[in-house]
Structure 1
Amino acid sequence: MEKQELKRDLKNRHVQLIAIGGTIGTGLFLGSGRAIQLAGPSIILAYLIVGIALFFVMRALGELLLSNAGYQSFTDFAADYIGPWAGYVTGWTYWFCWIMTAMADIIAVGVYVQYWFNIPQWIPALVCLIILLGLNLLTVKLFGELEFWFAIIKVITILALIVIGVILLFIGFQTETGTVSVKNLWEYGGLFPNGISGFLLSFQLVVFAFVGVELVGVSAAETSDPKKNIPSAINKIPLRILFFYVGALVIILSINPWEQLSASSSPFVQVFSLVGIPVAAGIINFVVLTSAASACNSGLFSTSRILYNLSSHNQGPAKFSALNKNHVPSSALFTSGIVVSIGALLSKLIPGQAFSIVTTISAICFIWVWSIILISHIKYMKTRPDLREKSTFKAPLAPFINYVVLALFVFILIIMLLAEATRLALLLTPVWFILLFIAYALRKRKFNNHANEKDIETSTIA
């Protein structure tokens, strides 16, 4: 029987916009409110530092994926360069990362809907999840189209915010809190109003804002021309970080002093309300709602593909590699959807804390995945200099920059350990890795026993 395979139906415009969608999500639209409260205007510097670090992670990812046409995701090269355990642990951790992220996104959907309707958060969260599941069961091309238009909406929104903000700055617009001016960046306690500690504590939320940037790598198996599309998407990341993150935050903090922005709602919505455009605030709320839905859509896509990949490599239940008539891994998709629905339950049980808990766990697990990409790249350079020499998409400043970024990740984890808000999540996360290593050891023993039994049968027949 011919093996079913994923279809390469994602075109260049899909990959480009998936890359944009991966770098603009709930972390920016909702999470930036809390990050601003922690760091003040210095949040801009935090976004810049993490954004630059992740560009180097993406360049390492791109070079590794293009070094072997058989690589479908980073779990493949992790297994090759670090060991089979790394492929197994990283694959399942990446699935867990996106499960946590998708939970945060559907929780955010519930928060945004409450802008119009006073209903429990979990109801719109669950409805959104069911709709996205149904759409994902169709074709990968439909996923690409959904992400294309979701990303277009995000781009237009941030572009509109920046254009309107520049006009308000130019005319010296008066709001209820004062004049719109770049002076608002430093006149309310300076660039570091909460000191270095507030700046450092914001890094967890900033890391979460960038989760999904590596989604280009997950979509590689379904990209029609990876050698052209992947480098193109990765090389545009720095420009997107400067424009979408730094540009948007400079405008937001120029319009409204940092101390007057709420940590619990979207600063984008607050800004348009503040300048006296309530209708625009409603429109922006709709946009950030679609952004959360888009991020959840990406979560369902990536978790189903990573389960498919794990199953194809005998690292997960065989049923996850089964594709439906549209070449979509439906069993893997349903399984991920059921687990993500726990997020709706969390928003019912602990509505005030659910978002913070899942974003912290997600950020920690993504740091693991990004670190594995960097370590794999270091090993690749040492063991396969021939491939490095032939590479048409060499990661710059490697391997030196790999070590620098790894040191930054360790530093961020130490900050999380010292911060009361993130300490519990950091201490609980190792339980996940312990369970994975136990599962890997049991699975390895099972396969070894099975192989030994086959050898005995063969020798008996002989």
Structure 2
Amino acid sequence: MVDRSKDLPLQTEPPEKLRRNLHNRHIQLIAIGGAIGTGLFMGSGKTISLAGPSIIFVYMIIGFMLFFVMRAMGELLLANLEYKSFSDFAADLLGPWAGYFTGWTYWFCWVVTGIADVVAISAYFQLWFPGFSIWMSALLCIVVFLSLNIATVKLFGELEFWFAIIKIVAIIALIVTGIVLVAMHYPAPGGGTAALSNIWNHGGMFPKGLSGFFAGFQIAVFAFVGIELVGTAAAETHNPEKVLPRAINSIPLRIIMFYVLALMVIMAVTPWDQVVPSRSPFVEMFVLIGLPAAASLVNFVVLTSAASSANSGIFSTSRMLYGLAEQGVAHRGFARLSRRAVPTTGLFFSCLCLLGGVALIYLIPNVMTVFTLVTTVSAILFMFVWTIILCSWLAWRKKRPEQVAKSTFRLPLGPVMCWIVMAFFVFVLVLLSLEEDTRKALMVTPLWFVLLAVGWWLRRRKAA
């Protein structure tokens, strides 16, 4: 008789901890998916029109800085495998207030990013169904994401794996197509031919001067949100010592391939001053060269990219609420897991908050206006989270010298690089204050920290 007792944990009681069900291929592709955000597909049209060819340098600078943030995060997570995410090490190294502020801000980051993704998905839907209501398509996609995430973490890993594969294949196809068009000297829109010289022939690499170059940073920063997703998935990663360093170290190569090459190809085929800011240049490139079927296919890809980002966001928010509940700074109901080890209460709550995106689209029908406002708020909040990661690393060096001595995955250039990256984030905040549309979001964002401070004060008072 076969003993089936090993199979019984299919589960009569809900588990008490998250399971390590994400494997190397899941984490590698989640890292790639995180590095290729909606900002690249949806926002690159606007960034090209603002900065011209200098946008290539913008993406390279931001990617370079964020690589060091990821190295600091990786070193901390591997120094203590009990840390489930950066909210945990912030609480441990900087104090409970830091865990509270980081966890809730990161949760809000992904709610806001999820709204931006829902806005983007609704815009892509319009290419196929121009008569379909924008806010109805937004509502529909929230319901779909909730259904997908409620199953198991392994299903989330599989979905992200295939979403990322689609993104990678699409960008490689775009790069190859662009190279072929340039080699053929294909007729470019508005006269002329596709050529590498189109990148610098229309006013040089800095056609709008330094002001244009600086203006490109806002949506470009948003393109990188989600790069830290590897840290959120750390608690559910199988063999993190091997998997995390590999995922983090490959970030620079991905940025060169997916951002720099893709944007160079777009500007070689379509001169930068003819790129339509309100539309995705990935779709427009194929429309302009008279391949509407290919444009429809690329539209499916960019829709998949936004879906991937929103799906990751819903995963992250539910896990962050779980971590906050375990720290005792969120309602204990968020720490309750389903029989499949999924924090369903956090999932439902996050999806309910995403409905704010549906309301925004209903109130402001202009998709690009909503997208710019929401992405700026998201970029500012993510910079706060990235700064907390760096501050935690600095505190860790002082408080845990024995762990620092044993570390095998070190942050290059150490404290010096930490301060350089934080100075860069301050510089980006100054840039956001210069443009009118980003200034509004910069003025609104402090309200979130005021709300958090009030919440923290009330919690401390109740505890006292």
Instruction: Give me the TM-score of the superposition, normalised by structure 2.
Output: 0.95
Tell me whether 1:243 sits opposite 2:257 in the alignment: yes
Q: CA deviation at 1:182?
A: 1.2
Question: Which segment drifts farther, 112-121 or 46-55?
Answer: 112-121
Please tell me the residue identity of whatever aligns with 2:178: G
Over 3 Å counting, the alpha-carbon distance change for 1:2 and 1:129 in structure 2 is closer
Q: CA deviation at 1:2?
A: 8.7
Over 3 Å counting, the alpha-carbon distance change for 1:260 and 1:75 in structure 2 is same
Please give the secondary structure, in 2, of the residue aligned with 1:418: coil
Q: CA deviation at 1:276?
A: 2.0
Q: CA deviation at 1:3?
A: 6.2
Distance 1:390 1:286 in 2: 47
Distance 2:170 2:430 in 1: 35
Contact 1:33 1:262 in 2 (8 A): yes
Superposition map of 1:439-454 within 5 A: 439-448=455-464
Quote the residue 1:425 is aligned against.
Answer: 441
Which residue among 395, 412, 415 is the counterpart of 2:411?
Answer: 395
Distance 1:278 1:442 in 2: 57
Tell me whether 1:253 sits opposite 2:267 in the alignment: yes
Tell me whether 1:134 sits opposite 2:155 in the alignment: no
Please tell me the residue identity of whatever aligns with 1:152: I
Distance 1:32 1:360 in 2: 14
Which residue among 357, 360, 375 is the counterpart of 1:359?
Answer: 375
Structure 2, unmatched stretches of 5+, are 1-12
- RMSD over aligned Cα atoms: 1.1
Tell me whether 1:306 sits opposite 2:346 in the alignment: no
Quote the residue 2:331 is aligned against.
Answer: 317
Which residue among 65, 68, 84 is the counterpart of 2:96?
Answer: 84
Please tell me the residue identity of whatever aligns with 1:131: V
Which residue among 97, 100, 106 is the counterpart of 2:112?
Answer: 100
Superposition map of 1:23-422 within 5 A: 23-118=35-130, 119-177=132-190, 178-352=192-366, 353-422=369-438
Distance 1:55 1:133 in 2: 31
Contact 2:14 2:341 in 1 (8 A): no
Please give the secondary structure, in 2, of the residue aligned with 1:265: coil
Q: CA deviation at 1:341?
A: 1.4
Distance 2:287 2:403 in 1: 54
How many residue pairs are counted as aligned between the two chains?
448
Distance 2:113 2:16 in 1: 29
Distance 1:413 1:351 in 2: 28
Distance 2:426 2:51 in 1: 20
Percent sequence identity is 55
Contact 2:83 2:89 in 1 (8 A): yes
Over 3 Å counting, the alpha-carbon distance change for 1:259 and 1:447 in structure 2 is same
Please tell me the residue identity of whatever aligns with 2:194: V
Please tell me the residue identity of whatever aligns with 1:162: I
Quote the residue 1:458 is aligned against.
Answer: none
Contact 2:15 2:341 in 1 (8 A): no
